Amino acid sequence: MFPFGKKEEPELAEVFDQRRPSNVEAMNQQHRKSVSNRGLTGASALTVRQSIFPITLVTILFFMWGFAYGLLDVLNAKFQNSLGITAAKAGGLQGAYFGAYLIGPPTYSGWIVRRFGYRWTFIAGLCIYGVGALMFWPSAVYRSFGGFCGSLFIVGSGLSTLETSANPFIATCGPPRLSEFRLEISQSFQAIGSVMAPLLASRVFFKETDPTDLSNVQWTYLGIAAFVFLLAVVFYFAPIPEVTDADMALQAEQCSGLTGYVDKPLKKQFKLFFGVAAQFCYVGAQVGVAAQFIKYSVESANISDAAGSDRYAIGQGLFAIGRFAAAGLMMVMKPRWVLLIFMTGVMIFIAASMGVKGEGGVAMLTIVLFFESCVFPTIFTLSIRGLGRHTKRGSSWIVAAVSGGALFPSLTGLVADHKGYHIAMCVPLIGFAVAFAFPVYLNTVCAKELDGFRESKIGYHDEDGLAIGDVKHEERRASLVHEEKGVFPTEKEISY
């Protein structure tokens, strides 16, 4: 029995009683066995240079589940035509895929990342993903919709495990002031995968030769399975630093002068709880829009499914552009402002899509995808700001909120079956409205804390070339102070 409920977060006293490794030690240690979540690794003060390679490798994972997510939306329309099912029943694909997020992150996925560290969570997620991809072969042979749903559930279990580790890893691997920027850039490649998937689906995998032919599905996922198993081997040998909750507790304490951080029990992390609720409603609304986009385009502009898939690819292209644009804005603008601006755009254009017909309606929904771009990663990073020793558990809860994608598509499809796809957009509108309240809360209640992390210089080099926040930097500062006083420092004074 896995001790899912066992307390694995460190106490502050034990964090400060440990020897502090340097960031060089964090990069040199391979950690192929496992890492204690209560122990310091020195990764709390990684520099930009030290974090580039591991972040690049993990970014490949973002591309992978972007591809899987983009392919899922085309599969939805494909199954509606091939198997003659309703829009509400086709939403079962999203229910299977995103339902896995409700189970994995709060239980086994979250436990693996806290118990064994990021490396083994990456490997476990890739292996689960590969098994799910292989299961598509018999599902396609027997043309079983239930089989496809089961396969997607396993794929979703693997991807939720990957996301439980990849999102917090990107957010914490490097200088804290660049957290939002790093995750935004990495998730931009997830958006690129989402662009490529519908294009390949309409042009290669599912050509309009035989609308009932699902054989290409099995070959598509067989190739994906081979790739992810190979990637699991790569992650075993890759030099990946481990960032523990003890490291994050230390970093939060170092930033406390700017942020006003005070260690609190998990039950009092109200910003996290609001972020989970906002993420649940936002992802549900986003998936609801994506799942019905092609059919909405067919209804609104009277075009074919293939043309609707092309329109969706344009929307996903704007989604990718929006993420890169948001990342650029975050270099000159506070992330909480960027989130508020983009959510405002989402609200305006999703409402417009309900009333505008023809190609104009498709254009309104396409613009919604552009403004959706930065919302998920920005909610994630801003929600885990200041969690300290609760970072990994809090991150797993936010990833679990992705399960909102299991609820909204079926509700949207149910309304579409009875009232049409334009009216059905009222379901995502409700979800977006709840998510919109979160940036309002951040900009009115949490501004000082969030801005303090943005002003932090941890992970940047000082005039002596030492990383600020690293133990070597602290030793140097302590030595200079004692030299001025003519006193030789003790080991305890140097370390802290």
| pLDDT tens for each residue of 405-459 | 888 888 888 898 889 899 999 999 999 999 999 999 999 999 999 999 888 899 8
- Please calculate the CA angle 491-36-399 and round it to the nearest 5 degrees: 125
Residue range 8-35: mean pLDDT, rounded: 78
pLDDT at 60: 84
For residue 241, what are the CA distances in angstroms to 100, 275, 327?
A: 28, 27, 24
Nearest to 313 by CA among 91, 154, 94, 77: 77
Residue range 309-325, pLDDT digits in tens: 788 878 888 998 999 99
- CA separation for the pair 461, 105 (Å, rounded): 36
- CA separation for the pair 130, 136 (Å, rounded): 10
Residue predicted with more confidence, 259 or 6: 259
- CA separation for the pair 44, 138 (Å, rounded): 46
pLDDT at 19: 85
SS (HEC) of the chain: CCCCCCCCCCCHHHHHCCCCCCHHHHHHCCCCCCCCCCCCCCHHHCCHHHHHHHHHHHHHHHHHHHHHHHHHHHHHHHHHHHCCCCHHHHHHHHHHHHHHHHHCHHHHHHHHHHHHCHHHHHHHHHHHHHHHHHCHHHHHHCCCHHHHHHHHHHHHHHHHHHHHHHHHHHHHCCCHHHHHHHHHHHHHHHHHHHHHHHHHHHHHHCCCCCCCCCHHHHHHHHHHHHHHHHHHHHHHHCCCCCCCHHHHHHHHHHCHHHHCCCCCCHHHCHHHHHHHHHHHHHHHHHHHHHHHHHHHHHHHHCCCHHHHHHHHHHHHHHHHHHHHHHHHHCCCCCHHHHHHHHHHHHHHHHHHHHHCCHHHHHHHHHHHHHHHCCHHHHHHHHHHCCCHHHHHHHHHHHHHHHHHHHCHHHHHHHHHHHHCHHHHCHHHHHHHHHHHHHHHHHHHHCHHHHHHHHHCCCCCECCCCCECCCHHHHHHHHHHHHHHHCCCCCHHHHHC
pLDDT at 491: 46
pLDDT at 488: 46
- pTM comes to 0.88
What is the band of 495 on the pLDDT scale with cuts at 50, 70, 90? very low
Residue range 474-484, pLDDT digits in tens: 777 666 654 55
- CA separation for the pair 263, 253 (Å, rounded): 8
pLDDT at 207: 62
pLDDT at 151: 84
Residue range 202-236, pLDDT digits in tens: 666 666 556 566 666 667 778 778 888 988 898 88
Q: Please state, rounded to an integer, the average pLDDT across all residues of the chain.
A: 84
